[in-house]
Amino acid sequence: MTRPGGSRVTVLPAPGREPQAPPAADPSSLALGALEDSLGFLLRIAQLQAFERFYAAVAGHDLRAGAFTILWVIGLNPGVRQGVLAERLMIKRAHMAKLIRALELAGLVARTPSREDRRAVELRLTPAGRRHVELRAAAFFAPDSAPPTSLSAAETRTLIGLLRKLTGIGEEAP
């Protein structure tokens, strides 16, 4: 099998040709084969590692990543429509409706009819929602202020630039 870049994908060993020694107890010693070059696999592992750092940093701060992200984006875009927000954050509309309902019940978000289209609903932070975001922003972004120990600051900036390019989010880093 060949990858898009032209390199060959290592396939599983033929039956009877598997390594004789059982896998070691150390997870980092497990063979991953072609997964080591799989963009999706590497992004998923990086995401899980980032979440571990995030949740360690925000322990004890009443902070959920998804809810905070929604509040942050609403705060930057007062009057945003729920469907537009769902599309930008890649959250299914039905799930976004549940999240917004919960944030509204918590007194953090207000839904108001659009002046341009009375069928549409605009989202805004309430004063309590703004305070919620302001009190938690430092904790939310703290894990990003210290790059992973495996990357230098320059490598982190390069990675962020490449991820922005890959996702089409923001501007490419200089």
Dump pLDDT digits (tens) for 2-40.
Answer: 556 656 666 776 776 666 666 667 787 788 888 889 999
For residue 152, the one-letter residue type is S
Structural domain count of the chain: 1
Q: What is the mean pLDDT of residues 148-169?
A: 88
Q: What is the mean pLDDT of residues 116-139?
A: 92
Asked, for residue 132, whether it belongs to a domain, the answer is yes
Nearest-10 crossing angle of helices 93-105, 65-76 = 80
Asked, for residue 104, whether it belongs to a domain, the answer is yes
**Letter string b/e over residues 154-164, b meaning 16 or more CB atoms within 10 A of that residue's CB:** eebeeebeeee
Global pTM reads 0.78
**Letter string b/e over residues 9-33, b meaning 16 or more CB atoms within 10 A of that residue's CB:** eeeeeeeeeeeeeeeeeeeeeeeee
Domain containing 103 equals 62-144
- CATH code where residue 123 lies: 1.10.10.10
Asked, for residue 43, whether it belongs to a domain, the answer is no
Asked, for residue 24, whether it belongs to a domain, the answer is no
Q: What is the mean pLDDT of residues 94-119?
A: 93
Asked, for residue 119, whether it belongs to a domain, the answer is yes
Asked, for residue 26, whether it belongs to a domain, the answer is no
